[in-house]
């Protein structure tokens, strides 16, 4: 019995590390994405200031479009995961 409890505690500790690692990776990815987008937008304004209006504007628009695209994609994926989990729970309830 003691061995099973130790194994369960070990598994829970490993799962906690995995979850914490995933959260840290997502946070880091968001920060890096923000920095890259900010640099591209600032670069666009610098290009506009130098008289390269088309290049600067396209840089700004592309950066903002990428941010909006990523936002909508992530919302779509979250919704898909929620539906998937809901269906799994319904299937388990119906099986009981």
Q: What phi-psi label fits residue 51: left (phi over 0), alpha (psi between -120 and 50 degrees) or beta?
A: left
Tell me how far apart the terminal alpha carbons of the chain are, to the nearest angstrom: 28
This prediction has a pTM of: 0.64
At residue 47, the pLDDT reads 94
- Which residue range(s) make up the domain with 15? 2-95
Q: 14-61: per-residue pLDDT in tens?
A: 998 999 998 999 899 889 988 999 999 999 999 999 999 999 999 999
Give how far Cα 9 sits from Cα of 1, 21, 23, 63, Å. Answer: 12, 18, 21, 45
Instruction: Report the domain count for the chain.
Output: 1
Mean residue pLDDT across the chain: 89
Element (H, E) at 16: helix 2-49
């Amino acid at each position: 019995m003691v061995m099973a409890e130790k194994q369960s505690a070990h598994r829970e500790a490993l799962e906690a590390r995995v979850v914490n690692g995933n959260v840290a990776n997502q946070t880091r990815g968001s920060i890096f994405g923000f920095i890259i987008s900010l640099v591209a937008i600032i670069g666009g304004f610098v290009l506009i200031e130098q008289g390269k209006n088309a290049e600067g504007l396209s840089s700004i628009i592309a950066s903002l479009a990428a941010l909006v695209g990523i936002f909508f994609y992530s919302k779509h994926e979250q919704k898909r995961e929620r539906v998937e989990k809901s269906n799994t729970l319904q299937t388990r309830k119906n099986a009981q």
